Amino acid sequence: MLLEARSLTKTFGAFKAVNDVSLRINKGDIIGLIGPNGAGKSTFFNCLTGDLVPSSGQVFLNGQDVTHLGPEQRAQLGLARSFQVPLSFEGMSVIENVMIGAFLRSADPAVARAKAMEVLTLTGLSAMCDAPASSLGTPGRKRLEIARALATDPDVLLLDEAMAGLTATEVQQAIALVRDIHKLGITLVIVEHIMEVIISLAEQVIVFHQGHEIARGTPQEVTQNEHVIAAYLGKRAAATAARGFAEGGA
């Protein structure tokens, strides 16, 4: 077991953003977390990364209880993440951004630079390594997020809507990149809005709705699940769809 969440609950005041969700991720898995806006998947994600402390439940990384460890300690233990809205270090060049990640495993700037260059080549950013990070557009910034996280040599990489805001072509390129990363032996947890991405990448999908897990299975199974359709389209629309639009016009 690489990463495990045991009945995680996170409340904000009286509001239960995540309600008793468990998850077990083995080495080499690709897990997708989906759900409508406000379903709690980002909150759950942030409990896994250490950005939020769960109200109850536990998180284990490589068998170690990390529930109360911060993001920096989890990064040291092999967990890396990207941010939904890219948080590049704007005052630095592209390669320096990635070096910050690489410094986790070596204090030597020369070693960190070499590691960063290696990762930039993998992510297709090597041509612009000396450009300021602030000169990158959205696709570049999304790649930089991934490159920086990869430079920490993670066991598991959590991607938070890494493909939001990309064009169809860019999404295809990003999917190819994620496959390459998986081939390196890195376990992946993907939060994604775009169904196409989840269907083509994830082996197992967990669907969130109003803080609860409402379905789990292969992408094909969950997309046909009636609860999932209801959550995405609303109950009436789902019922209408189920009746084959027989009375839909009335």
In order of 56, 104, 132, 183, 202, the CA distances from 154 in angstroms are 26, 10, 25, 13, 19
DSSP sequence for 206-245? EEEETTEEEEEE-HHHHHH-HHHHHHHH-HHHHHHHHTTT
Q: Is 143 in the site for other proteins (CB under 8 A)?
A: no
Q: Is 130 in the site for other proteins (CB under 8 A)?
A: yes
Pick 116 or 201: Cβ nearer other proteins: 116
Residue type, 119: V
Sign of the four-CA dihedral 234, 191, 213, 220: positive
Stretch touching other proteins by CB under 8 A, among 56-64, 102-110, 176-184, 188-196: 102-110
Q: Is 152 in the site for other proteins (CB under 8 A)?
A: yes
Tokens representing 99? 């070096």
Stretch touching other proteins by CB under 8 A, among 13-21, 129-137, 187-195, 225-233: 129-137
Q: Is 135 in the site for other proteins (CB under 8 A)?
A: yes
Q: Least distance in Å: CB of 63 to other proteins?
A: 20
Q: Is 140 in the site for other proteins (CB under 8 A)?
A: yes
Q: Is 103 in the site for other proteins (CB under 8 A)?
A: yes
Number of C-alpha atoms within 13 angstroms, CB side, residue 2?
20
Provide Rg for the chain, Cα atoms: 19
Q: Is 180 in the site for other proteins (CB under 8 A)?
A: no
Residue type, 11: T
Q: Is 71 in the site for other proteins (CB under 8 A)?
A: yes
Pick 71 or 124: Cβ nearer other proteins: 71
Q: Is 90 in the site for other proteins (CB under 8 A)?
A: yes
Q: Is 42 in the site for other proteins (CB under 8 A)?
A: no
Residue listed under structure tokens 């995540």: 18
Q: Is 110 in the site for other proteins (CB under 8 A)?
A: no
Q: Please state the separation of Cα 239 from the chain's center in Å.
A: 32
Tokens representing 12? 């904000």
Binding site for other proteins (CB under 8 A): 49, 51, 70-72, 75-76, 80-81, 83, 87-92, 96, 99-101, 103-104, 107-109, 112, 128, 130-132, 135-137, 140, 148-149, 151-152
